[in-house]
């Protein structure tokens, strides 16, 4: 299992447009992915579940991946988050 921790810098937090793009990016991989904020977590490939986390600016999320391409998934997630959120 690999994981990446990231603090959201976007003033609006994780909102619909980047959330959809993040889900699209993560769905390219076969590994299972979980996104957590505090004690709440969701399937990292489900848009509505991610939106329910209501991640705001300054909050930290943890992305965990487990599977055959977990390294590539975490790299892609880290790059996406740095570029968009």
Side-chain-side CA neighbours of 77 within 13 Å: the count stands at 30
β-pairing, 40-43 vs 60-66, is unpaired
Q: What is the pLDDT of residue 69?
A: 95
| DSSP symbols for 22-50 | HHHHHTTS-SEEEEEETTEEEETT-HHHH
Look up 15 and say whether it is catalytic.
yes
- pTM of the predicted model as reported, rounded to 2 decimal places: 0.89
Considering the candidates 12, 15, 16, 66, report the single residue annotated as catalytic: 15
pLDDT grade for 42, boundaries at 50, 70 and 90:
very high
> 46 phi and psi, to 5 degrees?
-120, 115
Q: Is the separation of the CB atoms in 32 and 66 below 8 Å? A: yes
Q: What are 1-28's pLDDT values in tens digits?
A: 999 999 999 999 999 999 999 999 999 9
The chain-wide mean pLDDT, for the chain, equals 95
Domain ranges of the chain: 2-84
Task: State the CATH class of domain 2-84.
Answer: alpha beta
């Amino acid at each position: 299992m690999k994981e990446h921790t990231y603090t959201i810098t976007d003033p609006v937090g994780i909102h619909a447009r980047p959330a959809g793009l993040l889900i699209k990016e993560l769905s390219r991989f076969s590994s299972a992915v979980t996104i957590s904020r505090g004690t709440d977590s969701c399937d990292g490939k489900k848009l509505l579940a991610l939106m329910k986390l209501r991640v705001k600016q300054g909050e930290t999320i943890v992305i965990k991946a487990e599977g055959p391409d977990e390294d590539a998934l975490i790299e892609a997630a880290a790059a996406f988050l740095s570029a968009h959120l």
